[in-house]
Homo-oligomer: A and B are copies of this chain.
């Protein structure tokens, strides 16, 4: 894990479609050496895989909603059940255990062919151990290169 590996990771984290030759050029290596580095990074588990970047349209023109969740209590079992149920919930794209007022902060993606009203009623309220849900609506999500 040296400077070149860092460059490779930075590059592939942004755009992975390039050939070994192109990658080698950008990091100052021959195609074969660049290729070998990438394979090593994959074996080491630093590169987990590859996926397509999809347009908003391809993702169903989602709007983003943040939901602060307070559980009925903070017992280990309660939190564990809640988290396990979350993992099976497609609409929740991120979940964070939080300090402060509420217990969890969820990032929910609402596809345009769905509605938050339905998700709130049928999905989020149905999660086990939920005491209170506070919704923050986004007006617009800024484009990020991330």
Contact = CB atoms under 8 A, between A and B. Distances in A.
A126 interface: no
A6 to B, nearest CB: 9
Contacts of A92: 144
A146 interface: yes
A9 interface: yes
Contact of A96 (B53, B54, B55, B138): B138
Given A83-B142, A138-B97, A51 B54 contact: no
A58 B142 contact: no
Contact of A141 (B14, B52, B94, B139): B94
Interface of A: 9, 12-17, 41, 45-55, 57-59, 64, 66, 83, 86-87, 92-100, 105, 136-144, 146
26 contacts: A9-B58, A13-B52, A13-B54, A13-B59, A15-B51, A16-B50, A17-B50, A45-B57, A47-B54, A47-B55, A48-B52, A50-B50, A50-B51, A50-B53, A66-B105, A87-B143, A93-B144, A93-B146, A94-B141, A95-B144, A96-B142, A97-B140, A99-B136, A99-B138, A99-B139, A100-B137
Closest 7 CB pairs of A and B: A12-B52, A46-B58, A96-B138, A48-B53, A95-B142, A97-B140, A17-B50
